Amino acid sequence: MSAIINDIEIIKAKTTKINEVDFDNLTFGKVFSDHMLECDFKNGSWQAPKIVPYQGITLDPSAKIFHYGQSVFEGMKAYKDANEDVWLFRPLENFKRLNISSKRLAIPELPESYFMEGLKALLEVDKNWIPTKEGSSLYIRPFVFASGKGFHASPADEYKFIICTAPSGAYFSGKVKVLIEETYSRSANGGVGFAKAGGNYAGQFYPTQLAVEKGYQQVIWTDDTNHEYIEEAGAMNIFVRINNTLVTGPTSDRILDGITRKSIIELAKAEGIPVEVRKISVKEVVEAAKNGSLKEMFGAGTAAVISPISGFGYKDADYDLPEIADSYGSKLKKIITDIQTNKSEDPFGWRFKVE
């Protein structure tokens, strides 16, 4: 069965898997909707995207994604409100960042219409897959990778842009304790740390495994020169509250320009919370924990939304962060999710209606 939505060709799946899904007990990114968007770059240009059944991708064994890690991705979420209206959050920011990442990875940039119209058509086709239970959403994964062939270590001549979606619950289950890293690093000055490049994530897995063995869930990365400054947590940016001031590190070529991060900064300012965007030294955080001025820490990202951090480890010592009554994290999380899910006004114009 074939149709056209927003000029996008739709090839519908013959059957649906939706009845196999327990929408009351969703985990993160493990079940996938019936369709996906597929778009090929070949002969020097992006071809028209189409919606196809969610299905396997067949590649030559010499496809450069297998050898040279040439890939970038985005993370987004769709929400459905009580009126069955579907909402995205600042989707153009994801589109722009995808192209910023692509440029750094020598991947051809995508036209905006292929991304936006394709995404809207996909959400239209799989609208029934968008969960409505509080705390759940349809996680959206746009990604681009090198499908072109050959063992020469140079950019591919063919790419695939795909969007898959996965009805999902919370990214973290339970409390998040973090380890401030002293040995390993996530990214180099002049490197690709600011990009959502696949290789940035694989490099974090082993140090994160070591942290997990010690009882932490995530690593807080520090600069690779002296491990002196807090950077980000790999899957989220980090906010620190010292007394009543909310502090987060500046973005750089090593740190992802998080969309949740920058939204939180604006929201906090609008709420009258003092916000500082500046380098945060590990020493400052440890001293604040010791003298009681460190009130809370949280991570911010699309998948994690706002995740409170219950404590951190550094140099074999543990520092607890008990929950506090007037938590900035809880307050800001409610404000941002109410905007995202159309439960409140949106003075910033961030909410985007899919229609």
Rounded-to-integer distance, Cα 73 and Cα 52, Å:
19
- Closer by beta carbon to its own copies, 128 or else 154: 154
- Closer by beta carbon to its own copies, 146 or else 321: 146
Rounded-to-integer distance, Cα 290 and Cα 285, Å:
9
CB environment 243-269: b (16+ within 10 A), e (fewer)? eeebbbbebbebbbbbbbbbbbbebbe
CB 73 within 8 A of CB 34: no
- Closer by beta carbon to its own copies, 67 or else 331: 67
- Closer by beta carbon to its own copies, 104 or else 262: 104
Rounded-to-integer distance, Cα 204 and Cα 225, Å:
17
Smallest distance from the beta carbon of 355 to its own copies, in angstroms? 26
Task: Please choose, from the candidates 80, 7, 69, 70, the residue with its C-alpha nearest in 3D space to the C-alpha of residue 37.
Answer: 7
Smallest distance from the beta carbon of 79 to its own copies, in angstroms? 17
Strands 50-53 and 351-354: unpaired
CB 265 within 8 A of CB 248: yes
Smallest distance from the beta carbon of 103 to its own copies, in angstroms? 7
Smallest distance from the beta carbon of 21 to its own copies, in angstroms? 15
Smallest distance from the beta carbon of 80 to its own copies, in angstroms? 20
- Closer by beta carbon to its own copies, 64 or else 90: 64
Tokens 């020598």 identify what position? Answer: 106
